[in-house]
A and B are shown apart, each in its own frame.
Chain A
């Protein structure tokens, strides 16, 4: 039973445009959510997070939106840059501090 789902394996956008990566979850006990970015041959690195008490968190070009009623979150990258090309993982955590990850979305930003 996959508790965190990223239904789009890949996404391709033009440089300067918006990238929107989506994530759905099923477990109502999750109370915070994170996005990680992963380049080939490197470990995942933390990008941005959001607590379940908020519906938006912004950090520079990156914004995460949370819709608790729909159990859905999204990551917006504006404007997208070629260096943003990577695999993006959505993750969710609860009071037991253990993170559950989605399968990832490969973002390609074309110059």
Chain B
């Protein structure tokens, strides 16, 4: 019963470095999401993938890219990290529309950019 698995759990980057956050779900969900959580800002959507092969920008996409590798995996890439990207990142997934589509979240990746 893994649900949504994110790696790594913690990461420290220097400004300008790149990295990829990995996410995988084993619930056969079609839709996957990347959120960031900052103090006082709640959960803000970065990118989402409605289904395999599609991706769309969310509320705060600048500085990020995503890849929906297959139905299970959705990665988030920071090409040139900036201190403003210091945050906790959550991956989530949910099922088809047409009913209440509760999202299941991973444990989060705490990223610090120095």
Contact = CB atoms under 8 A, between A and B. Distances in A.
Q: Do A and B come from one complex?
A: yes
Interface of A: 6, 9, 32, 34, 36, 41-46, 49, 51, 89, 91, 93, 95-104
Contacts of B108: 41-43
The size bracket of the interface on B is 20 to 34
Most chain A Cβ neighbours within 10 Å, of B33, B40, B90, B101: B101
B105 interface: yes
A95 B90 contact: no
A93 B105 contact: no
Nearest to B44: A101
Interface of B: 4, 31, 33, 35, 40-45, 48, 50, 58, 90, 92, 94, 96-97, 100-108
B48 A98 contact: yes
7 residue pairs, one from A and one from B, having the closest CB atoms: A43-B105, A103-B42, A101-B43, A97-B97, A46-B102, A32-B100, A97-B101
